[in-house]
Structure 1
Amino acid sequence: MKAATAAVMREIDRIAINEYGIPGAVLMENAGVAVVRHLETMLAPLSERKFCILAGKGNNGGDGYVIARHLANQGAKVKVFLLGEKAAVGGDARLNLDIIDLMGLDIIEITHERVWDKVKVTVTFADCLIDALAGTGFRGEPSDDMVQLIDMINAAGKPVVAVDIPSGVDADTGRVYGKAVQASHTVTLGLPKPGLFLYPGAECAGQLTVADIGIPAAIVTGQEIKQNIIMADMIGAILPRRSPAAHKGENGRLAVVAGSRGLSGAAAMTAAGALRAGAGLITLAAPASLQAVLAVKLTEVMTRPLAETSAGAVAQAAVQEIIGLASASDVLAIGPGLGCEEETRALVRAVVAAACCPLVIDADALNALAGYTSILTDCSALPVLTPHPGEMARLTGLSIQAVNADRVKVARQAAGEWGSIVVLKGARTVVAFPDGEVYINTSGNAGMATGGTGDALTGIIAGLIAQGLSSHDAAVAGVYIHGLAGDVAAAAGMVGMTATDLIKAVPAAMYGIKGY
């Protein structure tokens, strides 16, 4: 499913109006009707229901005036509060405002202090609140009056339906600069917006419905829309079906280089994630002193001892052995639990520069590349990087706050600069490609905020590559399967869920998507 930025959506509207001759008032009418249809599914019958419509001066407010007309025609009791003066409303919005004015609907301008008591009383006794204040054109911090309205809406404890996007949410980034409406439902128009899937905007959206407002499909397909929302049907089309006559060699050979003294768990979870994702043969290469414990942890995984430093990390003397292991493998996953010794970091850079198979790079291997990302552009295959925001901050020189403020933009720029696939982890993981294409994940839950889940993701992505998926498809499918496994595991309780619980749930998640 495509997600359109505010600018792209404006261009789609412009083409529909100017080139296809669809009047803007028709699109506004269709938008309002779509919201009313959704209200019918929520609150039918609408007759005698009390609705409070909070409207702005722009087209989002115009949608609200259309909604008011149709609700009134169905016998609902409607009050409209306009944030500003009627005289400031223009265009198609003014057309619809004039219609409900002629109908005798109660339209109250919020222009002086005495009105606020009316707003509060209406909000308190309404059955439903309609947020038509700002829409996708909103940027920056809301005005004092809008903040006061948002606070009233959020404190009312009533169903709140946002038109297109909750007011206060940036449509492109999901960022909330001050206050935002906490909607229980959002009816987004034409195409979904990225900010409805990215936090904190996603938390404001509630139940999301995408409404068709009559825009010709050819206009949408003619646009270069590079934001995609990952859905189950997309992953079902990506995952290969295993032959009934398959043997382990056909399901891929995977090498994992991970672990150091005190961090054996990261190595084990990476290998286990790959195993549960279906990889056929896995070799876990780790410091020699860890081999015994890893062999016990991972009965089905082969282990290989590597030369190690006095501190129990992989030593640079192991470079050639790792490169040889990579050459005999379909994919190499490197990084979880490797530690921060400079000798190990130098080893990582040497391996990344020389490996001849696809790479999945995570954790301490990413930290080793800070300041050396130019190495990535020379990799023989498109590498997959899986940073969390802290690692992304170290790689880019940005603050963690800057990374999270616009996750799509940061991931996209990094993917382009590094010639790599960037999987920026977090609530709603973002997968970005060098050509600017971006995928936003929709699976997963807060129970995954625990140690080791990132290591599991590295293994899952690598395990899918081992089975023949391209690095592109494995990254997209891997993040969705990882989140869905988290959702399966959370059925037993989100708090206290562990990365091991998630890993065990991977086969069930994949079965739910593909049926194997």
Structure 2
Amino acid sequence: MKLVKPDEMRKIDKKTIEEMGIPGIVLMENAGKGTVDEMEKEFGSFVSKMIVVVCGKGNNGGDGFVIARWLIKKGADVCVFLIGKKDDVRGDAHINLNILSGMDIEVREIIDDGTLSPFRESLKDAYIAVDAIFGTGFKGEIGGITAHVINLINEKGIPVVSVDVPSGVDCENGDVGSVCVNATLTCTMCLPKRGLYLYPGKMHCGKLRVTDIGAPPSLFDEATVELIDISLASSILPQRPPYGHKGTFGKVLVLAGSPGFTGAAALTSLSALRCGAGLVYLGIPQSLNPILETKATEVVTIPLPETQSHTIGSSAMDVLNLYFKGIDVIAMGPGVGVHTDTRDFVIGVMQTASSPVIIDADGLNNLNGDDFKGDHPSLVLTPHPGELSRLTGKSIKYIDKNRIDVALTFAGEWNVVLVLKGAPTVVASPDGRCYLNTTGNSALATAGSGDVLTGIIAALSAQGTEPLQSAVLGVYIHGLSGDLAAKEKTEYCVIAGDVMENIPEAIKTIKDYPLA
């Protein structure tokens, strides 16, 4: 499913009305009716139940007027409030306001503290409150009487249904101010908005439902970001021919580990095997070989020349050149340490390899942004915001606030697939495609979790999946593995090994999903 920015949604609305000939009043009717349908699915019958509908002066408020009318038709007792004056309502919203007036349905204005009392009284007996105050164009802080209204709604503690977006959420980047509706259910129109999937905005949405308002799907190409859901993941999952052998399912070369970080090497290589790679080679500093042969018994270890600090040295290239031609993908970086000679080694791999290279953790810490600007093989970079901050010079705060745009910018500048880890993880490609992951939880914020992800992406690439699709499917599997682990152990108690051990169940869940 596509994900839109506010300006992309405005373009879709405009083309729907002007090019497809569907009047705005019809879209508003569909939005209101669709929201009521979703409310009924979630909360059951409304007969004789008090519902308070709070509307703004714009089109979001117009949706609210339609919702009020349909709720009354369903048998609810409805109180409708407008924040502002009726004379300020324009366009299609004004038409729907007049329809309510023609039905003798009172719409009470809230313009100051003196007119707030009826609203406060209505909330006392309310079963549900409907938030139709602000829409996708909102930015900034909410103040004045509107802030009072929202605070009263939140304090009441009843279910709240937000129309399109919880009032107070910036649909561009998920920002919220000091006042924001805490929705139980958000019914967003046509396509989900970016800010509903970005933090902190996502925390205010409750359950999210997408309401079809009749816009033709042919117009959705305006949207540049796609959600990674189980349907998309299932469509990417590589098939396993019954006649295959270990060569069929790909050979992965993992370059990882240094003193104190043997676990990173083991987690990466074993996760690649867990995710279906046929054969995994593990290149490690030669002094660590006895340890890794014990920790990762299913892996073929390659002892490599090392520096005085026992990190992989640049002379390791002489050994690895014997392996490169038979390798399908290289995963480099977890726990390799930072050293000038190790940096030369990392750059040497980038310049020599003909297969895709996934670079994570210390692989990135040995590099700078300029290292990606020359010719290089197909690269997948998997930084967290701190690593990307060092590579780009952008602050962590800026990166987190602009995750999608930052990922797209540097994927394009460096000609790489960029996996920006975090909540949520973003995958961007050099050609402008971008994906937002929908799996994962705080349990993944644990040492070694990123090593597991690197191994998963490497395994998928080794099985013939293109680097971008390997990253897209990889982050979904990784997040789902974390969700399954947390379900069993809680988000507090999960370690990276638990995530790895849940890869099989995650893949089974995806494999069993029924594609249309």
TM-score for both structures, normalised by structure 2: 0.95
Matched with 1:15 is 15
Matched with 2:41 is 41
Does residue 419 (structure 1) correspond to residue 384 (structure 2)? The answer is no
Q: Do the aligned residues in 2 keep the contact of 1:323 with 1:351 (CA within 8 Å)? A: no
Does residue 155 (structure 1) correspond to residue 155 (structure 2)? The answer is yes
Q: Structure 1 residue 18: deviation in Å? A: 1.6
Q: Name the SS for the 1:140 alignment partner.
A: coil
Deviations 1:478-514 (A, max 9, x none): 1111111112212212221111011011111111211
| Pairing 1:236-255 to 2, within 5 Å after superposition | 236-255=234-253
| Pairing 1:421-500 to 2, within 5 Å after superposition | 421-494=417-490, 495-500=492-497
Q: Name the SS for the 1:209 alignment partner.
A: strand
Q: Structure 1 residue 334: deviation in Å? A: 0.5
Letter in 2 for 1:176: V
Q: Name the SS for the 2:129 alignment partner.
A: strand
Q: Name the SS for the 2:9 alignment partner.
A: helix
Q: Name the SS for the 2:439 alignment partner.
A: coil
Q: Do the aligned residues in 1 keep the contact of 2:418 with 2:427 (CA within 8 Å)? A: yes
| Pairing 1:50-89 to 2, within 5 Å after superposition | 50-89=50-89
Matched with 1:362 is 360
Give the whole-Å Cα distance in 1 for the aligned partners of 2:255 and 2:218.
Answer: 48
Give the whole-Å Cα distance in 2 for the aligned partners of 1:515 and 1:272.
Answer: 24
Give the whole-Å Cα distance in 1 for the aligned partners of 2:277 and 2:21.
Answer: 54
Matched with 1:350 is 348
Q: Do the aligned residues in 2 keep the contact of 1:251 with 1:279 (CA within 8 Å)? A: yes
Give the whole-Å Cα distance in 2 for the aligned partners of 1:261 and 1:499.
Answer: 19
Q: Structure 1 residue 323: deviation in Å? A: 4.3
Distance 1:198 1:258, change over 3 A: same
- 2:397 aligned to 394, 401, 413, which one? 401
| Pairing 1:90-109 to 2, within 5 Å after superposition | 90-109=90-109
Matched with 1:235 is 233
Q: Do the aligned residues in 2 keep the contact of 1:57 with 1:84 (CA within 8 Å)? A: yes
Matched with 2:268 is 270
Matched with 2:255 is 257
Q: CA RMSD in A?
A: 1.7
Letter in 1 for 2:486: A
Matched with 1:410 is 406
Letter in 1 for 2:314: Q
Distance 1:327 1:150, change over 3 A: farther
Q: Do the aligned residues in 1 keep the contact of 2:111 with 2:145 (CA within 8 Å)? A: no
Q: Name the SS for the 1:286 alignment partner.
A: strand
Deviations 1:265-294 (A, max 9, x none): 111111111111111111111111211111
Matched with 1:303 is 301
- Worse-matched range after superposition: 343-352 or 327-336: 343-352
Matched with 2:291 is 293
Q: Which runs of 5+ in 2 are unaligned?
A: none
Does residue 505 (structure 1) correspond to residue 502 (structure 2)? The answer is yes
Does residue 330 (structure 1) correspond to residue 333 (structure 2)? The answer is no
Give the whole-Å Cα distance in 2 for the aligned partners of 1:64 and 1:7.
Answer: 22
Give the whole-Å Cα distance in 2 for the aligned partners of 1:515 and 1:16.
Answer: 37
Letter in 1 for 2:349: V
Matched with 1:167 is 167
Moved over 4 A (4+): none
Letter in 2 for 1:511: K
Q: Do the aligned residues in 2 keep the contact of 1:78 with 1:106 (CA within 8 Å)? A: no
Give the whole-Å Cα distance in 1 for the aligned partners of 2:282 and 2:269.
Answer: 7
Q: Do the aligned residues in 1 keep the contact of 2:34 with 2:213 (CA within 8 Å)? A: yes
Q: Do the aligned residues in 1 keep the contact of 2:238 with 2:460 (CA within 8 Å)? A: no
Letter in 2 for 1:307: P
Deviations 1:338-396 (A, max 9, x none): 11223222321222122221000101111222243434x5113x211111111111111
Q: Do the aligned residues in 1 keep the contact of 2:11 with 2:222 (CA within 8 Å)? A: no
Letter in 1 for 2:298: E
Q: Name the SS for the 2:209 alignment partner.
A: strand
Give the whole-Å Cα distance in 1 for the aligned partners of 2:45 and 2:463.
Answer: 53
Letter in 2 for 1:24: G
Q: Structure 1 residue 210: deviation in Å? A: 1.0
Q: Name the SS for the 1:114 alignment partner.
A: helix
Give the whole-Å Cα distance in 2 for the aligned partners of 1:116 and 1:362.
Answer: 55
Give the whole-Å Cα distance in 1 for the aligned partners of 2:47 and 2:477.
Answer: 44
- Worse-matched range after superposition: 347-356 or 253-262: 347-356
Q: Name the SS for the 1:357 alignment partner.
A: coil
Give the whole-Å Cα distance in 1 for the aligned partners of 2:371 and 2:205.
Answer: 37
Q: Structure 1 residue 436: deviation in Å? A: 1.1
Give the whole-Å Cα distance in 2 for the aligned partners of 1:219 and 1:329.
Answer: 42
Give the % identical residues. 46
Matched with 2:511 is 514
